[in-house]
Amino acid sequence: MGEAPAIEAEGVVKNFGRTTALAGLDLTVPRGTVYGLLGPNGAGKTTAVRTFATLLRPDGGRARVLGSDVVTHAARVRSVIGLTGQYAALDEYLSARANLVMIGRLSRLTAAEAGRCAGDLLERFGLTDAAGRAVKTYSGGMRRRLDLAASLIGSPEVLFLDEPTTGLDPRSRAVMWDIIRALTAGGTTLLLTTQYLEEADQLAARIAVIDGGRVIAEGTPGELKSAVGGERIAVDLAAGGDVEAAITALKPFSAGPAVASEDGLRLEAPVVLSDGLTTTVVRALDAAGVQVTEVSIRRASLDDVFLSLTGHSAEGKVAA
């Protein structure tokens, strides 16, 4: 089992009543990597993590963590994983230190080890000064940090973080990112879910984009971006500009279909970069009688990846 990947999912299905949360999820997470699970609300990220962490029994397919099946060898899986769920999993009435010691003892550490581990983690996460305070007096950011600290007790080999920075302000998010980067330097395998493309881009070595309970794309952030075209051209039309004519005029230059914004005033298309491209495009649009206010080139973001893969933006699926 030394060679088994950190996490392996084969056709995992999970239904809640008539909702299908996971519709045949396939995933392989190599050991020692940060793996991003990226998807919009309701994509099945939490369900996937809870299945891997033995909290849910899949209705179909199999999942293994370090080679152990999450259903038949749940106890073995539990002894090698750490979980930071989407919502803080702490006892509000206990102090931070008491929370960590409790989790340590329940992770089968001796009292001495649990105490030492708790002290180390509090220091590492900058919580030593607040260690004696009840958790219910903690701010959202402190709570998140303590929650992450709690999942590190017992030095898990595989760590699950479900949306670790959702709801944090930019400063707390940056602190969290630093902590996560430091973690992975120690060789821990990390499965991270997020709705933020930027976050996955920043932290993960590989990313699986999931939507509707299925992986719809997988690869390094670079691979995913180049799959949608490395560069994108954006055309801002003047009010009343002819979208159809603009799309036609853009066609010879684009490496894929152009997408219009909802108000029809912005067009975007993947392009292959060449000298003087912007000028050529402006001329072509001019010749077609399309009035533009701006033409610009930018690198594809993961947002573009998402949009072109799912047909809706990552931040929500309002426009279904």
Partner 1 sequence: MTSAVLSPGRGVTRQAGRFAGFVTDVWVLTKRSLARIRREPETLAEVTIQPILFVLMFTYVFGGAIGIPGGGSYHEYLIGGMLGMGLAQTAPGTAVAVVTDMSTGLIDRFRSLPMSRAAVLSARTVADLLTQVIGAIVVAGVGLAIGWRVHTGPGDIIAAFALALLFGYAFTWVGACLGMVLRSPEAAQQSGFVIFLPLTFISSAFVPTQGMPGWLQPVAEWNPMSALAAACRHLFGNPNPAAAVHAWPMQHPQLAVIAWSVAMLVVFAPLAVRLYRRKALG
Ligand X SMILES: Nc1ncnc2c1ncn2[C@@H]1O[C@H](COP(=O)(O)OP(=O)(O)OP(=O)(O)O)[C@@H](O)[C@H]1O
Would you count residue 270 as binding ligand X (CB under 6 A)? no
Separation between Cα atoms, residue 205 and residue 222, nearest integer Å: 10
Q: Between 213 and 241, name the residue whose CB sits nearer to ligand X.
A: 213
Separation between Cα atoms, residue 69 and residue 1, nearest integer Å: 12
Please give the C-alpha separations between residue 133 and each of 7, 17, 145, 176, in angstroms, as whole numbers. Answer: 37, 41, 15, 21
Separation between Cα atoms, residue 129 and residue 278, nearest integer Å: 56
Q: Between 39 and 85, name the residue whose CB sits nearer to partner 1.
A: 85
Strand partners, 27: 9
State the binding partner of 65 from Mg ion, ligand X, partner 1, none, CB within 5 to 8 A by kind. none
State the binding partner of 21 from ligand X, Mg ion, partner 1, none, CB within 5 to 8 A by kind. ligand X
Binding mask of the shown chain, residues 163 to 202, with x at each position contacting partner 1 by CB under 8 A: -------------------xx-xxxxx-------------
Residue 72 burial (10 A CB sphere; 0-12, 13-18, 19+)? exposed
Closest distance to ligand X from the beta carbon of 315 (Å): 11
Contact region with ligand X (CB under 6 A), list: 40-48, 95-103, 244-252, 309-317: 40-48
54-63 in b/e form (b: 16+ CB < 10 A) is bebebeebeb
Closest distance to ligand X from the beta carbon of 44 (Å): 4
Would you count residue 120 as binding partner 1 (CB under 8 A)? yes
From candidates 21, 22, 39, 46, binder to Mg ion by CB under 5 A: 46
From candidates 86, 166, 202, 301, binder to Mg ion by CB under 5 A: 86
From candidates 72, 139, 155, 293, binder to partner 1 by CB under 8 A: 155
From candidates 41, 60, 108, 139, binder to partner 1 by CB under 8 A: 108
Distance of CA 244 to the CA centre of its chain: 36
Tokens read off for 136? 């219910």
Would you count residue 109 as binding partner 1 (CB under 8 A)? yes
In the chain, the largest separation of any two C-alpha atoms, in whole Å, equals 78
Q: Are 238 and 48 in contact (CB under 8 A)?
A: no
Separation between Cα atoms, residue 201 and residue 118, nearest integer Å: 31
Q: Which residues, 64 to 93, sit near ligand X by CB under 6 A?
A: 86
Tokens read off for 147? 């929650």
Q: Are 153 and 100 in contact (CB under 8 A)?
A: yes
From candidates 11, 24, 32, 42, binder to ligand X by CB under 6 A: 42
Would you count residue 2 as binding partner 1 (CB under 8 A)? no
Q: Between 190 and 233, name the residue whose CB sits nearer to partner 1.
A: 190
State the binding partner of 146 from ligand X, Mg ion, partner 1, none, CB within 5 to 8 A by kind. none
Residue 7, phi then psi, degrees to nearest 5: -135, 135
DSSP assignment string, 50-88: HHHTTSS--SEEEEEETTEETTTTHHHHHTTEEEE-SS-
Contact region with partner 1 (CB under 8 A), list: 22-30, 154-162, 261-269, 279-287: 154-162
Q: Which residues, 268 to 287, sit near partner 1 by CB under 8 A?
A: none
Return residues touching partner 1 (CB under 8 A). Answer: 16, 50, 53-57, 75, 78-83, 85-91, 93-94, 98, 102-103, 105-110, 113, 117, 120-121, 123-124, 134, 150-152, 154-157, 182-183, 185-189
Return residues touching Mg ion (CB under 5 A). Answer: 45-46, 86
